[in-house]
Chain A
Amino acid sequence: MAAEGGLTTSGYIIHHLTNLTYGHLPEGFTRYNGEVVGEGGTWTIAHGTEASTMGFWAINLDTMLFSVGLGLFFIWLFKKAADKAVAGVPGALQNFVESIVEFVDENVKSSFHARNQFVAPLALTIFVWVFLMNLMDLIPVDWVPYLAQQMGVPYLKIVPSTDVNATMGMSLSVFALILYYSISVKGIGEFVGELTLQPLGKWLIPFNFFLEFVNLLAKPVSLGLRLFGNMYAGEMIFILIALLPFWAQWVLSVPWAIFHILIITLQAFIFMVLTIVYLSMAHESH
Protein backbone atom coordinates (compact mmCIF):
# COMPACT_ATOMS: atom_id res chain seq x y z
CA MET A 1 0.00 0.00 0.00
CA ALA A 2 2.82 2.32 0.82
CA ALA A 3 3.84 2.90 -2.76
CA GLU A 4 0.33 3.55 -4.02
CA GLY A 5 -0.56 7.00 -5.21
CA GLY A 6 3.10 7.94 -5.25
CA LEU A 7 3.16 8.40 -1.50
CA THR A 8 6.42 8.20 0.37
CA THR A 9 6.62 6.22 3.56
CA SER A 10 6.49 9.27 5.80
CA GLY A 11 3.78 10.75 3.62
CA TYR A 12 1.77 7.56 4.08
CA ILE A 13 2.18 7.68 7.83
CA ILE A 14 1.30 11.33 8.04
CA HIS A 15 -1.70 10.79 5.83
CA HIS A 16 -3.00 8.08 8.14
CA LEU A 17 -2.50 10.27 11.18
CA THR A 18 -4.23 13.35 9.77
CA ASN A 19 -7.80 14.11 10.64
CA LEU A 20 -10.42 15.30 8.21
CA THR A 21 -10.59 18.88 9.48
CA TYR A 22 -13.12 21.45 8.40
CA GLY A 23 -12.34 25.04 9.22
CA HIS A 24 -11.64 28.55 8.14
CA LEU A 25 -8.54 29.59 6.21
CA PRO A 26 -7.59 33.26 6.40
CA GLU A 27 -7.27 35.61 3.48
CA GLY A 28 -4.00 35.47 1.61
CA PHE A 29 -3.11 31.96 2.77
CA THR A 30 -1.30 29.85 0.21
CA ARG A 31 -2.99 26.47 0.02
CA TYR A 32 -1.40 23.03 -0.48
CA ASN A 33 -1.89 23.25 -4.25
CA GLY A 34 -0.54 26.74 -4.61
CA GLU A 35 -3.89 28.55 -4.64
CA VAL A 36 -4.12 31.71 -2.64
CA VAL A 37 -7.21 32.15 -0.47
CA GLY A 38 -9.29 35.03 -1.65
CA GLU A 39 -10.89 37.93 0.18
CA GLY A 40 -12.58 37.14 3.54
CA GLY A 41 -10.93 33.75 3.76
CA THR A 42 -12.68 30.50 3.06
CA TRP A 43 -14.35 27.59 4.90
CA THR A 44 -12.93 24.36 3.60
CA ILE A 45 -11.42 20.99 4.38
CA ALA A 46 -7.79 21.17 5.41
CA HIS A 47 -5.11 19.47 3.37
CA GLY A 48 -1.67 18.67 4.73
CA THR A 49 -0.71 21.04 7.52
CA GLU A 50 -3.44 23.57 6.81
CA ALA A 51 -5.36 22.42 9.87
CA SER A 52 -2.86 24.14 12.16
CA THR A 53 -3.61 27.45 10.45
CA MET A 54 -7.32 27.02 11.04
CA GLY A 55 -6.88 27.57 14.75
CA PHE A 56 -9.38 26.51 17.38
CA TRP A 57 -12.57 27.03 15.41
CA ALA A 58 -12.19 24.02 13.19
CA ILE A 59 -13.71 20.63 13.60
CA ASN A 60 -12.44 17.15 12.92
CA LEU A 61 -15.29 15.72 10.88
CA ASP A 62 -14.05 12.12 11.02
CA THR A 63 -13.64 12.15 14.79
CA MET A 64 -17.08 13.62 15.29
CA LEU A 65 -18.69 11.28 12.79
CA PHE A 66 -17.24 8.11 14.23
CA SER A 67 -17.48 9.04 17.89
CA VAL A 68 -21.06 10.24 17.62
CA GLY A 69 -21.93 7.32 15.38
CA LEU A 70 -20.48 4.85 17.85
CA GLY A 71 -22.14 6.66 20.72
CA LEU A 72 -25.48 6.43 18.95
CA PHE A 73 -24.84 2.77 18.30
CA PHE A 74 -24.14 2.33 22.00
CA ILE A 75 -27.32 4.03 23.21
CA TRP A 76 -29.38 2.37 20.47
CA LEU A 77 -28.16 -1.09 21.44
CA PHE A 78 -28.51 -0.55 25.16
CA LYS A 79 -31.86 1.18 24.82
CA LYS A 80 -33.10 -1.78 22.80
CA ALA A 81 -32.03 -4.14 25.55
CA ALA A 82 -33.41 -1.85 28.26
CA ASP A 83 -36.81 -1.60 26.59
CA LYS A 84 -37.16 -5.35 26.55
CA ALA A 85 -35.55 -5.93 29.94
CA VAL A 86 -37.55 -8.44 31.92
CA ALA A 87 -36.99 -9.95 35.32
CA GLY A 88 -37.55 -13.40 33.89
CA VAL A 89 -35.21 -15.38 31.69
CA PRO A 90 -33.14 -12.84 29.73
CA GLY A 91 -32.43 -13.08 26.01
CA ALA A 92 -28.96 -13.01 24.49
CA LEU A 93 -28.80 -9.23 24.05
CA GLN A 94 -30.22 -8.56 27.48
CA ASN A 95 -27.74 -10.98 28.97
CA PHE A 96 -24.88 -9.23 27.26
CA VAL A 97 -26.05 -5.76 28.28
CA GLU A 98 -26.80 -6.88 31.82
CA SER A 99 -23.38 -8.39 32.30
CA ILE A 100 -21.77 -5.10 31.27
CA VAL A 101 -24.13 -3.07 33.42
CA GLU A 102 -23.44 -5.30 36.41
CA PHE A 103 -19.72 -5.14 35.84
CA VAL A 104 -19.83 -1.35 35.77
CA ASP A 105 -22.21 -1.23 38.71
CA GLU A 106 -19.90 -3.36 40.81
CA ASN A 107 -16.96 -1.10 40.01
CA VAL A 108 -18.97 1.96 40.89
CA LYS A 109 -20.23 0.45 44.12
CA SER A 110 -16.76 -0.61 45.21
CA SER A 111 -15.17 2.82 44.86
CA PHE A 112 -17.99 5.35 44.91
CA HIS A 113 -19.88 5.57 48.17
CA ALA A 114 -21.84 8.80 47.94
CA ARG A 115 -25.37 8.91 46.58
CA ASN A 116 -25.39 10.00 42.97
CA GLN A 117 -27.68 8.71 40.25
CA PHE A 118 -25.46 10.01 37.48
CA VAL A 119 -22.14 8.35 38.20
CA ALA A 120 -23.02 4.75 37.31
CA PRO A 121 -24.62 5.55 33.93
CA LEU A 122 -21.74 7.91 33.27
CA ALA A 123 -19.26 5.14 33.97
CA LEU A 124 -21.21 2.78 31.72
CA THR A 125 -21.23 5.35 28.94
CA ILE A 126 -17.50 5.92 29.27
CA PHE A 127 -16.66 2.24 29.35
CA VAL A 128 -18.73 1.20 26.36
CA TRP A 129 -18.19 4.31 24.29
CA VAL A 130 -14.44 4.41 24.77
CA PHE A 131 -14.28 0.69 24.15
CA LEU A 132 -16.17 1.06 20.88
CA MET A 133 -13.99 3.98 19.79
CA ASN A 134 -10.89 1.98 20.61
CA LEU A 135 -12.32 -1.03 18.83
CA MET A 136 -12.14 0.85 15.54
CA ASP A 137 -8.41 0.40 15.88
CA LEU A 138 -8.79 -3.26 14.99
CA ILE A 139 -10.18 -2.48 11.56
CA PRO A 140 -7.21 -2.81 9.21
CA VAL A 141 -5.69 0.64 8.87
CA ASP A 142 -6.04 0.91 5.11
CA TRP A 143 -9.56 -0.25 4.49
CA VAL A 144 -11.71 2.69 5.44
CA PRO A 145 -9.29 5.50 4.50
CA TYR A 146 -8.73 3.83 1.11
CA LEU A 147 -12.48 3.54 0.47
CA ALA A 148 -12.93 7.15 1.53
CA GLN A 149 -10.15 8.25 -0.77
CA GLN A 150 -11.85 6.48 -3.66
CA MET A 151 -14.98 8.49 -2.83
CA GLY A 152 -13.06 11.75 -2.78
CA VAL A 153 -12.52 12.21 0.95
CA PRO A 154 -8.85 13.14 1.34
CA TYR A 155 -8.33 12.10 4.96
CA LEU A 156 -10.16 9.77 7.30
CA LYS A 157 -9.05 8.70 10.73
CA ILE A 158 -11.57 6.18 11.95
CA VAL A 159 -10.33 5.77 15.52
CA PRO A 160 -11.71 8.76 17.45
CA SER A 161 -9.61 7.97 20.51
CA THR A 162 -6.42 8.57 18.52
CA ASP A 163 -7.55 12.17 18.23
CA VAL A 164 -6.43 14.18 21.24
CA ASN A 165 -9.52 16.35 20.88
CA ALA A 166 -11.80 13.40 21.52
CA THR A 167 -9.99 12.11 24.57
CA MET A 168 -9.44 15.59 26.01
CA GLY A 169 -13.07 16.44 25.28
CA MET A 170 -14.10 13.56 27.48
CA SER A 171 -11.52 14.11 30.20
CA LEU A 172 -12.36 17.82 30.38
CA SER A 173 -16.03 16.89 30.69
CA VAL A 174 -15.05 14.67 33.58
CA PHE A 175 -13.02 17.58 34.97
CA ALA A 176 -16.07 19.82 34.72
CA LEU A 177 -18.03 17.21 36.65
CA ILE A 178 -15.28 17.03 39.27
CA LEU A 179 -15.45 20.79 39.77
CA TYR A 180 -19.26 20.81 39.73
CA TYR A 181 -19.62 18.06 42.32
CA SER A 182 -16.74 19.36 44.45
CA ILE A 183 -18.48 22.69 44.73
CA SER A 184 -22.09 21.50 44.92
CA VAL A 185 -21.47 18.71 47.42
CA LYS A 186 -18.78 20.21 49.62
CA GLY A 187 -19.53 23.87 49.09
CA ILE A 188 -17.18 26.45 47.68
CA GLY A 189 -15.60 27.15 51.05
CA GLU A 190 -14.54 23.63 51.75
CA PHE A 191 -13.38 23.13 48.17
CA VAL A 192 -11.14 26.18 48.34
CA GLY A 193 -10.01 25.01 51.76
CA GLU A 194 -8.98 21.69 50.34
CA LEU A 195 -7.03 23.46 47.66
CA THR A 196 -5.18 25.77 50.01
CA LEU A 197 -5.02 24.44 53.58
CA GLN A 198 -3.40 21.09 53.02
CA PRO A 199 -1.08 19.34 53.20
CA LEU A 200 1.00 21.86 55.18
CA GLY A 201 -1.50 23.96 57.12
CA LYS A 202 -2.52 27.59 56.82
CA TRP A 203 0.98 29.14 57.04
CA LEU A 204 1.99 27.80 53.64
CA ILE A 205 -1.10 28.63 51.61
CA PRO A 206 0.71 29.50 48.33
CA PHE A 207 2.72 26.32 48.44
CA ASN A 208 -0.36 24.24 49.29
CA PHE A 209 -2.33 25.88 46.55
CA PHE A 210 0.38 25.23 43.99
CA LEU A 211 0.59 21.59 44.99
CA GLU A 212 -3.14 20.98 45.06
CA PHE A 213 -3.78 22.95 41.90
CA VAL A 214 -1.25 20.94 39.93
CA ASN A 215 -2.75 17.84 41.47
CA LEU A 216 -6.22 18.91 40.35
CA LEU A 217 -5.15 19.83 36.83
CA ALA A 218 -3.15 16.65 36.44
CA LYS A 219 -6.36 14.61 36.68
CA PRO A 220 -8.00 15.57 33.37
CA VAL A 221 -4.70 15.92 31.56
CA SER A 222 -3.42 12.49 32.55
CA LEU A 223 -6.86 10.98 31.98
CA GLY A 224 -7.15 12.29 28.46
CA LEU A 225 -3.53 11.91 27.41
CA ARG A 226 -3.23 8.37 28.74
CA LEU A 227 -6.02 7.14 26.49
CA PHE A 228 -4.83 9.21 23.58
CA GLY A 229 -1.21 8.12 23.96
CA ASN A 230 -2.03 4.45 24.17
CA MET A 231 -4.34 4.47 21.21
CA TYR A 232 -2.14 6.73 19.12
CA ALA A 233 0.87 4.54 19.72
CA GLY A 234 -1.13 1.42 18.93
CA GLU A 235 -2.43 2.93 15.73
CA MET A 236 1.08 4.04 14.80
CA ILE A 237 2.35 0.49 15.16
CA PHE A 238 -0.47 -0.78 12.97
CA ILE A 239 0.50 1.80 10.35
CA LEU A 240 4.15 0.80 10.56
CA ILE A 241 3.19 -2.84 10.17
CA ALA A 242 1.09 -1.89 7.16
CA LEU A 243 4.27 -0.61 5.52
CA LEU A 244 5.61 -4.16 5.28
CA PRO A 245 5.03 -6.20 2.14
CA PHE A 246 1.44 -7.46 2.19
CA TRP A 247 2.46 -11.11 2.56
CA ALA A 248 4.50 -10.42 5.68
CA GLN A 249 2.12 -8.11 7.52
CA TRP A 250 0.13 -10.79 9.30
CA VAL A 251 3.22 -12.04 11.14
CA LEU A 252 3.22 -8.85 13.16
CA SER A 253 -0.26 -7.47 12.76
CA VAL A 254 -2.08 -10.55 14.06
CA PRO A 255 -0.14 -10.75 17.36
CA TRP A 256 -0.34 -6.99 17.78
CA ALA A 257 -4.08 -7.00 17.09
CA ILE A 258 -4.61 -9.75 19.63
CA PHE A 259 -2.54 -7.86 22.17
CA HIS A 260 -4.42 -4.72 21.26
CA ILE A 261 -7.71 -6.33 22.22
CA LEU A 262 -6.37 -6.29 25.75
CA ILE A 263 -5.17 -2.70 25.49
CA ILE A 264 -8.41 -1.26 24.14
CA THR A 265 -10.43 -2.96 26.86
CA LEU A 266 -7.96 -2.01 29.53
CA GLN A 267 -7.85 1.63 28.45
CA ALA A 268 -11.63 1.86 28.43
CA PHE A 269 -11.67 0.27 31.86
CA ILE A 270 -8.97 2.59 33.24
CA PHE A 271 -10.76 5.66 31.92
CA MET A 272 -13.95 4.49 33.61
CA VAL A 273 -12.36 3.57 36.93
CA LEU A 274 -10.39 6.81 37.16
CA THR A 275 -13.52 8.80 36.41
CA ILE A 276 -15.32 6.99 39.22
CA VAL A 277 -12.42 7.55 41.61
CA TYR A 278 -12.08 11.23 40.75
CA LEU A 279 -15.80 11.80 41.17
CA SER A 280 -15.70 9.87 44.42
CA MET A 281 -12.93 12.16 45.65
CA ALA A 282 -15.01 15.12 44.59
CA HIS A 283 -17.85 13.89 46.81
CA GLU A 284 -15.84 13.11 49.91
CA SER A 285 -14.23 15.50 52.34
CA HIS A 286 -10.60 14.83 53.11
Chain B
Amino acid sequence: MNINATIIGQAIAFFFFAWFCMKYVWPPVTTALRERQKKIAEGLDAAERASRDLELAKEKATQALREGKEQAAGIIDQANKRASQIVDEAKEQAITEGERLKVAAQAEIDQEVNRAKEALRSQVAALAIAGAEKILSKSVDSKAQAELVDKLAAEL
Protein backbone atom coordinates (compact mmCIF):
# COMPACT_ATOMS: atom_id res chain seq x y z
CA MET B 1 0.00 0.00 0.00
CA ASN B 2 2.55 2.54 -1.08
CA ILE B 3 1.71 5.77 -2.78
CA ASN B 4 4.04 6.00 -5.74
CA ALA B 5 4.35 7.23 -9.29
CA THR B 6 1.58 4.89 -10.39
CA ILE B 7 -0.72 7.71 -9.34
CA ILE B 8 0.77 9.90 -12.07
CA GLY B 9 0.66 7.16 -14.66
CA GLN B 10 -2.94 6.50 -13.82
CA ALA B 11 -3.81 10.20 -14.09
CA ILE B 12 -2.13 10.43 -17.50
CA ALA B 13 -3.96 7.34 -18.72
CA PHE B 14 -7.19 8.72 -17.31
CA PHE B 15 -6.89 12.00 -19.19
CA PHE B 16 -5.84 10.24 -22.35
CA PHE B 17 -8.83 7.91 -22.32
CA ALA B 18 -11.25 10.70 -21.47
CA TRP B 19 -9.81 12.89 -24.23
CA PHE B 20 -9.94 10.04 -26.73
CA CYS B 21 -13.51 9.33 -25.72
CA MET B 22 -14.50 12.97 -26.18
CA LYS B 23 -12.74 13.20 -29.53
CA TYR B 24 -13.58 9.94 -31.24
CA VAL B 25 -16.27 8.04 -29.34
CA TRP B 26 -18.83 10.45 -27.98
CA PRO B 27 -19.67 12.59 -31.04
CA PRO B 28 -20.44 9.80 -33.56
CA VAL B 29 -22.53 7.82 -31.10
CA THR B 30 -24.58 10.77 -29.92
CA THR B 31 -25.00 11.98 -33.50
CA ALA B 32 -26.32 8.58 -34.51
CA LEU B 33 -28.64 8.59 -31.51
CA ARG B 34 -29.97 12.04 -32.29
CA GLU B 35 -30.48 11.19 -35.94
CA ARG B 36 -32.32 8.01 -35.05
CA GLN B 37 -34.47 9.97 -32.62
CA LYS B 38 -35.35 12.38 -35.41
CA LYS B 39 -36.08 9.52 -37.79
CA ILE B 40 -38.32 7.79 -35.29
CA ALA B 41 -40.12 11.03 -34.57
CA GLU B 42 -40.65 11.56 -38.28
CA GLY B 43 -41.85 8.00 -38.68
CA LEU B 44 -44.32 8.42 -35.85
CA ASP B 45 -45.51 11.68 -37.37
CA ALA B 46 -46.03 10.00 -40.72
CA ALA B 47 -47.91 7.15 -39.08
CA GLU B 48 -50.14 9.59 -37.29
CA ARG B 49 -50.76 11.49 -40.49
CA ALA B 50 -51.56 8.26 -42.29
CA SER B 51 -53.98 7.18 -39.60
CA ARG B 52 -55.64 10.59 -39.78
CA ASP B 53 -55.91 10.21 -43.55
CA LEU B 54 -57.36 6.77 -43.09
CA GLU B 55 -59.93 8.14 -40.67
CA LEU B 56 -60.84 10.81 -43.18
CA ALA B 57 -61.12 8.30 -46.01
CA LYS B 58 -63.30 6.06 -43.86
CA GLU B 59 -65.56 8.98 -43.08
CA LYS B 60 -65.76 9.83 -46.77
CA ALA B 61 -66.53 6.25 -47.64
CA THR B 62 -69.35 6.00 -45.10
CA GLN B 63 -70.72 9.30 -46.31
CA ALA B 64 -70.64 8.10 -49.92
CA LEU B 65 -72.31 4.89 -48.87
CA ARG B 66 -74.99 6.80 -47.01
CA GLU B 67 -75.56 9.06 -49.99
CA GLY B 68 -75.75 6.07 -52.29
CA LYS B 69 -78.25 4.40 -50.05
CA GLU B 70 -80.32 7.55 -49.89
CA GLN B 71 -80.23 7.87 -53.65
CA ALA B 72 -81.18 4.25 -54.12
CA ALA B 73 -84.05 4.64 -51.67
CA GLY B 74 -85.18 7.73 -53.58
CA ILE B 75 -85.04 5.88 -56.86
CA ILE B 76 -86.97 2.94 -55.47
CA ASP B 77 -89.56 5.30 -54.02
CA GLN B 78 -89.90 7.04 -57.34
CA ALA B 79 -90.14 3.74 -59.16
CA ASN B 80 -92.80 2.52 -56.74
CA LYS B 81 -94.71 5.72 -57.17
CA ARG B 82 -94.38 5.47 -60.94
CA ALA B 83 -95.46 1.84 -60.87
CA SER B 84 -98.59 2.56 -58.86
CA GLN B 85 -99.24 5.49 -61.13
CA ILE B 86 -98.94 3.25 -64.17
CA VAL B 87 -101.19 0.66 -62.57
CA ASP B 88 -103.73 3.35 -61.75
CA GLU B 89 -103.55 4.72 -65.24
CA ALA B 90 -103.94 1.23 -66.66
CA LYS B 91 -106.89 0.61 -64.39
CA GLU B 92 -108.52 3.84 -65.47
CA GLN B 93 -107.86 3.06 -69.09
CA ALA B 94 -109.25 -0.40 -68.66
CA ILE B 95 -112.36 0.98 -66.99
CA THR B 96 -112.97 3.56 -69.71
CA GLU B 97 -112.21 1.01 -72.36
CA GLY B 98 -114.65 -1.41 -70.71
CA GLU B 99 -117.20 1.34 -70.50
CA ARG B 100 -116.70 2.19 -74.13
CA LEU B 101 -116.93 -1.44 -75.18
CA LYS B 102 -119.99 -1.89 -73.03
CA VAL B 103 -121.67 1.16 -74.65
CA ALA B 104 -120.71 -0.03 -78.10
CA ALA B 105 -122.01 -3.52 -77.35
CA GLN B 106 -125.20 -2.05 -75.95
CA ALA B 107 -125.65 0.04 -79.08
CA GLU B 108 -125.04 -2.94 -81.27
CA ILE B 109 -127.47 -4.98 -79.21
CA ASP B 110 -130.05 -2.24 -79.46
CA GLN B 111 -129.46 -2.04 -83.16
CA GLU B 112 -129.80 -5.80 -83.48
CA VAL B 113 -132.98 -5.72 -81.38
CA ASN B 114 -134.44 -2.95 -83.50
CA ARG B 115 -133.45 -4.77 -86.62
CA ALA B 116 -135.05 -7.97 -85.28
CA LYS B 117 -138.13 -6.03 -84.23
CA GLU B 118 -138.32 -4.53 -87.69
CA ALA B 119 -137.98 -7.92 -89.31
CA LEU B 120 -140.41 -9.43 -86.90
CA ARG B 121 -142.94 -6.63 -87.51
CA SER B 122 -142.75 -7.01 -91.22
CA GLN B 123 -143.04 -10.73 -90.91
CA VAL B 124 -146.00 -10.39 -88.50
CA ALA B 125 -147.62 -7.97 -90.91
CA ALA B 126 -147.11 -10.38 -93.73
CA LEU B 127 -148.40 -13.20 -91.57
CA ALA B 128 -151.42 -11.16 -90.53
CA ILE B 129 -152.15 -10.26 -94.08
CA ALA B 130 -151.72 -13.80 -95.11
CA GLY B 131 -153.98 -14.88 -92.23
CA ALA B 132 -156.57 -12.28 -93.06
CA GLU B 133 -156.42 -13.16 -96.71
CA LYS B 134 -157.07 -16.72 -95.82
CA ILE B 135 -159.88 -15.79 -93.48
CA LEU B 136 -161.56 -13.40 -95.76
CA SER B 137 -160.65 -15.48 -98.82
CA LYS B 138 -161.50 -13.08 -101.56
CA SER B 139 -163.22 -9.75 -101.56
CA VAL B 140 -161.02 -7.83 -99.43
CA ASP B 141 -159.11 -4.99 -100.85
CA SER B 142 -155.75 -6.07 -99.98
CA LYS B 143 -154.41 -2.58 -100.35
CA ALA B 144 -156.62 -0.91 -97.78
CA GLN B 145 -156.27 -3.76 -95.45
CA ALA B 146 -152.52 -3.78 -95.79
CA GLU B 147 -152.47 -0.17 -94.60
CA LEU B 148 -154.58 -1.12 -91.65
CA VAL B 149 -152.42 -4.03 -90.83
CA ASP B 150 -149.28 -1.89 -91.17
CA LYS B 151 -150.73 0.59 -88.70
CA LEU B 152 -151.47 -2.25 -86.38
CA ALA B 153 -148.02 -3.61 -86.78
CA ALA B 154 -146.49 -0.24 -86.02
CA GLU B 155 -148.36 -0.17 -82.79
CA LEU B 156 -146.81 -3.46 -81.75
Contact = CB atoms under 8 A, between A and B. Distances in A.
Interface stretch (B10-18, B66-74, B111-119, B120-128): B10-18
B2 A64 contact: no
Contacts of A129: 14, 17
Interface in B1-53: 1-11, 13-18, 20-22, 24-33, 35-36, 38-39
A87 B6 contact: no
A126 B39 CA distance: 31
Nearest to B4: A58
Contacts of A164: 1, 3
A118 to B, nearest CB: 6
10 tightest A-B CB contacts, nearest first = A169-B10, A87-B35, A165-B6, A121-B22, A85-B32, A82-B28, A121-B21, A121-B26, A60-B6, A169-B7
B17 A165 contact: no
Contacts of A21: 2, 4
Given A58-B5, A60-B6, A165-B3, A121 B39 contact: no
B10 A63 contact: yes
Contacts of A172: 7, 11
Contacts of A126: 18
Interface of B: 1-11, 13-18, 20-22, 24-33, 35-36, 38-39
B4 A85 contact: no
A81 interface: yes
Given A102-B33, A165-B10, A173-B14, A52 B2 contact: yes
A206 interface: no
Interface residues of A, number: 55
7 contacts: A51-B4, A75-B21, A82-B29, A85-B31, A160-B10, A169-B8, A169-B11
Majority SS of interface residues in chain B? Answer: helix
A168 B6 CA distance: 10
Nearest to B10: A169
Contacts of B24: 75, 79, 82
A59 B26 contact: no
A82 B6 contact: no
B6 A118 contact: no
A55 to B, nearest CB: 7
B9 A169 contact: yes
Contacts of A160: 10
Contacts of B16: 71
A143 interface: no
